[in-house]
Structure 1
């Protein structure tokens, strides 16, 4: 197998996040369940944006946040995602390229608008997300660069993008290309609502051996397997995945690879400000360690360190020097 030009290439929603503070009364008036994620249409996105407090705009999207973290850790990362020919599309492309991430997907014209996520953060650091998917859900298989996929050691796929038919077909094509090139395929379940909608499809990916690394939180893996608890969920997927990584919020994280199992505690945080992107940055840290051949426990610790950094401030992208932070904490 030839050497990889990229360590990780991700496919996911290309979204611009708009993050603003809100209180419980605002959420109640808007009929929003704290900590939830819902999809909204263009009209609802415009209405809610007009009622929000002043916000901070930054490029986001789950897999895009992950590759931003991977680049911050000094690895070679790429991203495939669909934006539109509008101002937010230009913002997204500029931001992700400025981080050193390879992004070459052509913008899509027509009446489509670039996706945006309106994130309301309350004083207890809970985020309530209102996502307008816009152009991101129209990523065609034709937008894929076969050579780019073949040149990436790990292909990382975002479960959020499995819902629309067009990008799902693109991701299935990307999986076939990566496996044909003997590259690893990583998949994140993204959210329990994704699992509820696509349980059979996700199980089929696992059962057919097309996934090498699965990322999930505790609720997602329990939902996927429909087990009674985490122990039952782990038993249900035992032997079906070369590598399983499960995050458990304040209880840390675990990874299972064959007969090997590793667990770490959560990294301490002086004050949790905003949990947006915690799972995304955990995946970044873990994949950075895994791509460099580090032991399971060390890769888990890298994930925990990256997640702790991102929840200590607003926004889903790291602000501290992640590479230096990991080096200091791991010694």
Structure 2
């Protein structure tokens, strides 16, 4: 049974993120050879059971200790932090941009739940809409090689999650934006959240999640877009291509035009090639910002979304929104995990100043 949720007494967060299951990431740099011993192909994301995840974490700790003095791997420990695309975006919005955020979801009664709560609370995220339940909190091992390529092994089975019928209007009252990530296994919760959010006048942002999710479940996605309830849509180049599979032109420009038929803002990120976006009749193309070599690409798209949303909330032009997103996405790849460190935040503010973008007041 879920515990009673204490609704916030203070001002509701400006931006809410729906992440039905709280998630903890275990991120570590590994030698490429280590990946040969991990079940499944290297790269990508393959679900594992809890026992397998624990086994991988143990192996990583032993592996990390063996190259502690390797100059290529100066930071060889496992970094454990709250994870998940939506959590990354809303954490970035408050910690790097000073925009108040809250999360809607559920966590278990285990050590991972404590880690999730501590990490999000210490960054200022409002957790009053996070349900506490008896059970496991979702986890993911993210292994990063010397080239910044990721091999992910998520453990989501049996993880607690918030259910569609548990959502209430009170969860959304007074907020301005709802941030979502497309996932077929959460579709009922997503649909319920959108319905309640729209009744409360919120704008809705949707991330397309992965090209596999778009490929395998395109029809429900098109129905979501066709509902007219998605105000802002983020897709990366692979997701955009998959969305237009079978069309004559499947380039990013065509994808942005396609998404813009359904959404006020349409954005396609292009990795090292920047992004292209459309709002109304306005189109913007902006190059990537930052080093060509990423330490870890985890969270690049999520933090791009943080920056872009900050720009929209502050009323910046479409091009400026893209530039802030590029600064934000470029900052997170400079270290492990989907969290902007203090050092990288300063780097991001410097890039924003160089480009004459308004830097946020995060002193509040």
TM (normalized to structure 2)?
A: 0.83
CA distance in 2, matches of 1:266, 1:221: 18
CA distance in 1, matches of 2:159, 2:325: 27
Match of 1:328 in 2: 353
**1:79 partner SS:** strand
Asked if structure 1 preserves the Cα contact closer than 8 Å seen for 2:12 and 2:173, the reply is: no
The alpha-carbon deviation at position 31 of structure 1 amounts to: 4.5
**1:19 partner SS:** strand
**2:131 partner SS:** coil
Match of 1:138 in 2: 161
1:308-329: CA deviation from partner (whole Å, max 9, x where unpaired): 1110111110003367446524
**2:52 aligns with one of 36, 44, 55:** 44
Bigger mean CA offset, 28-37 vs 52-61: 28-37
Match of 2:123 in 1: 99
Asked if structure 2 preserves the Cα contact closer than 8 Å seen for 1:264 and 1:297, the reply is: yes
* Alignment partner of 1:76 is 2:100: yes
**1:18 aligns with one of 26, 35, 38:** 26
Asked if structure 2 preserves the Cα contact closer than 8 Å seen for 1:82 and 1:136, the reply is: no
1:274-315: CA deviation from partner (whole Å, max 9, x where unpaired): 111101100001011111111111111111111111101111
Query: Which ranges in structure 1 are unaligned for 5 or more consecutive residues?
Result: none
**1:229 aligns with one of 250, 259, 263:** 250
Computing the radius of gyration from Cα coordinates, the structure with the larger value is 2
TM (normalized to structure 1)?
A: 0.91
The alpha-carbon deviation at position 99 of structure 1 amounts to: 0.8
Asked if structure 2 preserves the Cα contact closer than 8 Å seen for 1:179 and 1:210, the reply is: yes
Asked if structure 2 preserves the Cα contact closer than 8 Å seen for 1:203 and 1:224, the reply is: no
1:48-85: CA deviation from partner (whole Å, max 9, x where unpaired): 22322352211111100000110021111111122101
* Alignment partner of 1:149 is 2:149: no
CA distance in 2, matches of 1:306, 1:23: 28
CA distance in 2, matches of 1:281, 1:131: 20
Asked if structure 2 preserves the Cα contact closer than 8 Å seen for 1:310 and 1:318, the reply is: yes
* Alignment partner of 1:311 is 2:333: yes
Asked if structure 2 preserves the Cα contact closer than 8 Å seen for 1:209 and 1:240, the reply is: yes
Asked if structure 2 preserves the Cα contact closer than 8 Å seen for 1:69 and 1:318, the reply is: yes
The alpha-carbon deviation at position 45 of structure 1 amounts to: 1.5
Bigger mean CA offset, 213-222 vs 29-38: 29-38
* Alignment partner of 1:214 is 2:259: no
Indicate how the Cα distance of structure 1 residues 219 and 288 shifts in structure 2: closer, same or farther if over 3 A, else same. Answer: same
CA distance in 2, matches of 1:22, 1:145: 43
* Alignment partner of 1:302 is 2:324: yes
* Alignment partner of 1:85 is 2:109: yes
Name the count of aligned residue pairs. Answer: 322
**1:229 partner SS:** coil
Bigger mean CA offset, 132-141 vs 292-301: 132-141
**2:27 partner SS:** strand
Match of 1:183 in 2: 202
* Alignment partner of 1:8 is 2:15: yes
CA distance in 1, matches of 2:46, 2:123: 28
Match of 2:184 in 1: 163
**1:28 aligns with one of 22, 25, 36:** 36
CA distance in 2, matches of 1:275, 1:209: 32
CA distance in 2, matches of 1:309, 1:28: 30
Asked if structure 2 preserves the Cα contact closer than 8 Å seen for 1:83 and 1:135, the reply is: no
**1:262 partner SS:** strand
